[in-house]
Amino acid sequence: MTSETTSNDFIRTIINKDLAAGTHQQIIVRFPPEPNGFPHIGHAKSSTLNFGLASEYGGRCHLRFDDTNPQTEDQKYVDAIKCDLKWLGFDWGKHEYYASDYFEILFDWACKLVKKGLAYVDDSPENIIRAMRGTVTTPGIHSEYRDRSPEENLNLFQAMRAGEFEDGSRVLRAKINMEHPNMKMRDPLMYRIRHATHYRRGDEWCIYPFYDWAHGQSDAIEGVTHSICTLEFSTNRILYDWYLDALEIIPRPRQYEFARLNLDYYVTSKRRLLSLVQENVVDGWSDPRMPTLAGLRRRGVRPAAIRAFCNSVGTTRVDSTHDPALLDHFIREDLNHLAPRVHCVQDPLPVTLTNLPENHEENISASYWPRDIPREGTRNLPISREIFIEHSDFSEEPPKGYRRLTLGGMVRLRHAYIIRCTDIEKDEDGHVIRVHCELIDGTRSGAETSSTLKPRGTIHWVDASRSLPAVVKVYDRLLSQPSVNEDLWSNLNPSSLVEYRHARIEPSIIDDVPEQRYQFVRLGYYWRDPESINQSIPVFNCIVPLRDSYVQETKENTKQGNIKTARKTSKKHPVDEQKKSRIKTGQRPLTPEEKQWLRMSGLNSAIGLAIYSVPDASAFFRAASASAPRISVGNWMANHLLPSLKNRSLSDLPFGPEEFSELVQLADKEIGSTHEIREVLKLMFESKEHPARLLARVQDSIVDDPDTLNEIITDVLDEYKDRVEAYSAGKIGLLGFFVGQVMRRVHGNANPKQIQLLVSEALARITS
Ligand code: ATP
Ligand code: MG
């Protein structure tokens, strides 16, 4: 594995302290998947973190399968997880472990708790047990079996193990506290009876440990020093510690929780991904639209891009959802210097170069690389009287700013000549089916010419007869909404797969190795679909478009007869008109100016282009970022300043880049909260006062407007999702914490009673 940059985070801080204090000599962590599905991008985050820590600190990372549930687990998932982790570049050596190998010791330990009077066999049905646990605000009720003697419990538990009882007839429970504010501590279940075949242990066992009983002990057995898991387990920590105390296990692992990685427009839950597979909505776990590692691999993404993405999002305790554009960014970065540029026309429109003779055959030697990549290599681009261009590169009624071919207009064919459109042919329905152009002599690229012609733009093309047929599959986000709660099915993106069945590609690719990645000029990065490698017509997957953008479907798009939208998705779930219209082009090539601007600005494309498209904003951005961090200036401009401009222009504002940069610094140094800085920005639109002074005023004024307060409360509850979770698990004392956080953000300038009321209401909405 290559060494990659990771930032210092709270986990690394803890480890540094532990090492400095001599608490541990060696760091032992683990990645603990349950083999009940294929790993996804969230697992990439967790494994990148754990294996990364092991390698950074010269420790080790175990791969442990938490395989305690015979009903959902399978060897095929173990194999998939190992394959994907190896592909990501991780090595666990001989440290491959299975919780199912610990069944004996876990059983002995359970007996130990029984003998100590700390666990009992409960004959109540599972639904009764659930009902007797109580609620967040009401205590649980003791089971009538709770006071069985240790001897009776031991006999019963051994009889459970010996297979004397039916499934579901009894459970083993820890005897903790039915009134505990954390519901996880209300006599949690340790074992259930399941006469089921385990994929590794066969029929050896008919009782299976619950995850919560197996997980912490497995870490202890392996000598794990830092058990790193996701935030939803923070309320379990107390239980894991209780078990270790009761068993008197020393030394013990310490658990630390970090926020899950979520991606907008995707689901990262194995349960939901499994349902997509089972319902045949996708082509298995490795469908390139899936956020699984197998899907990303099949799409053509390389592991380095995934690791870089996981490292870049950092490790925090704040739940956050990431824009897939960020992952795309790392994929492009990884491929830019690796993928030779070739021509592929996805949606061909025939062009006749009328002034070339019928039998004209010419070969153009064209570089594989753009000028800014210092690599060598050329290929032959044949050209003759008949060529293809993209349908979308010709327009009869061009919109303003259209820089491609129009009737009477000129474009340059990339690496070749300037052509002028003289005529078009249409079918009965009025669709353009062929364009006639004349090739302008003496305009060949690179040749010494004195041409002063000004073509509108440069487009890609291929020769008609000497190009090769290809099928091109372009993938888009799985969902049509950034996130969905329950109704996954009606939120699937109907255009998540667009198939171009009559694409044409230049002939140079014919002898290439299958793993070769290309940049199809002006389109994106592509490679051969590994699962279609034996098909006579090559099938290419789009790894990532050059730029991703959602735009309204234009009339032009609907005309494209040769495009077949993913049937599997659209057939099952008829799409409404509005969703249909959100089809992705992904194909609009960036202009060279836009590209250069993005490169120079160092901003991601969404932010960068938002700024680029507003008059004067680029200059404003440059000036403001002279004294504040560029990325922050970009974010604040794109997300706050520009959207509030409405009809005003930047030069009309009472402040300039200098003041704006001061504002951004106040935000960056956390002198003001995001909310306050936004308030200050509003005031700056009307006043010439200094941002710092405005901030002081905002921070001093009493806030009693419920809308404003609710906005702040939502921010707080979002930031502390883990505590909201804990609150709903019974830690109702956290109400005070939330109120305190809100008070802090208004600098004490609000009525705590009012805030308490609003926070309680907000919590009730979330946790009901
Ligand atoms: P899912 O919700 O997809 O079923 P899981 O947590 O049940 O995931 P596991 O196989 O138990 O899946 O996960 C293995 C490890 O990966 C755990 O430590 C888990 O906390 C971590 N993990 C799972 N999903 C994510 C995610 N989205 N972001 C970061 N870590 C994750
Ligand atoms: Mg899990």
**CA-closest residue to ligand 1 atom 4:** 270
Q: What own/partner pairs with CB < 8 Å and gap ≥ 24 does 195-202 have?
A: 195/163, 195/166, 195/167, 196/70, 196/71, 197/70, 198/67, 198/70, 198/73, 198/100, 199/35, 199/67, 199/70, 199/73, 199/74, 199/75, 199/78, 200/67, 200/75, 200/98, 200/100, 201/70, 201/100, 201/103
d(Cα 750, Cα 711) in Å, to the nearest integer?
A: 14
Kindly identify the ligand whose nearest atom is closest to the C-alpha of 73: 1
pLDDT at 243: 98
Provide the angle, in degrees to the nearest 10, between the axes of the packed helices 75-88 and 41-56.
60
What SS3 state is found at 96?
Answer: strand
**CA-closest residue to ligand 1 atom 2:** 269
46 Cα: distance to centroid of ligand 1 (angstroms): 7
Kindly identify the ligand whose nearest atom is closest to the C-alpha of 232: 1
725 Cα: distance to centroid of ligand 1 (angstroms): 17
Substitution candidate for ligand 1 out of 46, 73, 306 with most atoms within 8 A of CB: 46
Do the Cβ atoms of 18 and 248 come closer than 8 Å?
no
- Distances in Å between the alpha carbon of 413 and those of 379, 420, 462? 16, 10, 9
User: Residue 64: which H helix or E strand, with range?
Assistant: strand 60-65
Determine whether 270 is an active site residue.
yes
pTM recorded for the entire structure: 0.73
**Pocket residues for ligand 1 (CB within 6 Å)?**
32-34, 42-43, 45-46, 229-230, 260-261, 268-271
In ligand 1, which atom is closest to the CA atom of 46? 30
User: Given its phi and psi angles, is residue 330 left (phi above 0), alpha (psi -120 to 50 degrees) or beta?
Assistant: alpha
139 Cα: distance to centroid of ligand 2 (angstroms): 27
229 Cα: distance to centroid of ligand 1 (angstroms): 8
pLDDT at 80: 98
What SS3 state is found at 243?
Answer: helix
> Which two tokens mark 599?
């490169």
Determine whether 260 is an active site residue.
yes
> Which two tokens mark 594?
């836009």
Kindly identify the ligand whose nearest atom is closest to the C-alpha of 85: 1
Kindly identify the ligand whose nearest atom is closest to the C-alpha of 37: 1
Residue among 625, 718, 632 at smallest CA distance from 667: 632
> Which two tokens mark 221?
């057995």
**CA-closest residue to ligand 1 atom 26:** 42
- Distances in Å between the alpha carbon of 688 and those of 139, 194, 625, 648, 685? 58, 72, 20, 16, 8
270 Cα: distance to centroid of ligand 1 (angstroms): 8
In ligand 1, which atom is closest to the CA atom of 34? 10
Q: Residue 473 forms beta bridges with which residues?
A: 499, 541
Say if residue 233 is exposed, middle or buried (CB neighbours under 10 Å; 0-12, 13-18, 19+): buried
Q: Residue 383 forms beta bridges with which residues?
A: 362
Do the Cβ atoms of 110 and 157 come closer than 8 Å?
yes
pLDDT at 449: 59
Say if residue 52 is exposed, middle or buried (CB neighbours under 10 Å; 0-12, 13-18, 19+): buried
First and final CA of the chain: distance in angstroms? 46
Do the Cβ atoms of 207 and 179 come closer than 8 Å?
no
Which of the following is catalytic: 34, 222, 438, 725?
34
Provide the angle, in degrees to the nearest 10, between the axes of the packed helices 691-700 and 657-668.
50
pLDDT at 562: 40
Residue among 57, 44, 56, 36 at smallest CA distance from 89: 44
Omega before 251 within 30 of 0, i.e. cis = yes
In ligand 1, which atom is closest to the CA atom of 261? 28
447 Cα: distance to centroid of ligand 2 (angstroms): 62
CB neighbours of residue 691 within 10 Å? 24
Residue among 74, 100, 81 at smallest CA distance from 38: 81
Kindly identify the ligand whose nearest atom is closest to the C-alpha of 36: 1
In ligand 1, which atom is closest to the CA atom of 45? 29
| Side-chain-facing half-sphere of 314: CA atoms under 13 Å | 10
User: Residue 503: which H helix or E strand, with range?
Assistant: strand 497-505
In ligand 1, which atom is closest to the CA atom of 260? 28
**CA-closest residue to ligand 1 atom 13:** 33
| Side-chain-facing half-sphere of 709: CA atoms under 13 Å | 26
Residue among 147, 119, 266, 278 at smallest CA distance from 207: 119
| Side-chain-facing half-sphere of 193: CA atoms under 13 Å | 22
d(Cα 591, Cα 431) in Å, to the nearest integer?
A: 27
In ligand 1, which atom is closest to the CA atom of 262? 27
355 Cα: distance to centroid of ligand 1 (angstroms): 63
- Measured at the CA of 757, the angle between CA 137 and CA 319, to 5 degrees, comes to 75
pLDDT averages per 10-residue partition of the chain, 768 residues: 66 95 96 98 97 96 98 97 98 98 98 98 92 88 97 98 97 97 95 98 98 97 97 94 95 93 92 91 95 98 97 86 92 95 97 97 95 90 98 90 93 96 94 96 77 87 98 92 78 87 96 92 97 94 76 32 37 31 41 79 80 87 91 88 85 93 90 84 91 88 82 84 84 89 85 88 78
Which residues, 6+ apart, have CB-to-CB distance to 167 below 8 Å?
193, 194, 195
**CA-closest residue to ligand 1 atom 27:** 42
Substitution candidate for ligand 1 out of 68, 260, 721 with most atoms within 8 A of CB: 260
Which of the following is catalytic: 45, 175, 270, 517?
270
Substitution candidate for ligand 1 out of 230, 234, 262, 264 with most atoms within 8 A of CB: 230
376 Cα: distance to centroid of ligand 2 (angstroms): 48
Determine whether 34 is an active site residue.
yes
d(Cα 411, Cα 454) in Å, to the nearest integer?
A: 8
d(Cα 493, Cα 324) in Å, to the nearest integer?
A: 15
Which residues, 6+ apart, have CB-to-CB distance to 602 below 8 Å?
630, 631
Which of the following is catalytic: 148, 184, 260, 477?
260
User: Residue 341: which H helix or E strand, with range?
Assistant: strand 341-342
d(Cα 616, Cα 619) in Å, to the nearest integer?
A: 6
65 Cα: distance to centroid of ligand 1 (angstroms): 12
Kindly identify the ligand whose nearest atom is closest to the C-alpha of 269: 1
Residue among 279, 283, 278, 314 at smallest CA distance from 298: 283
pLDDT at 451: 66
d(Cα 404, Cα 458) in Å, to the nearest integer?
A: 7
pLDDT at 493: 85
Substitution candidate for ligand 1 out of 29, 43, 316 with most atoms within 8 A of CB: 43
d(Cα 363, Cα 384) in Å, to the nearest integer?
A: 9
Provide the angle, in degrees to the nearest 10, between the axes of the packed helices 706-719 and 734-745.
120
365 Cα: distance to centroid of ligand 1 (angstroms): 51
> Parallel, antiparallel, or unpaired: how do β-strands 497-505 and 468-475 relate?
antiparallel
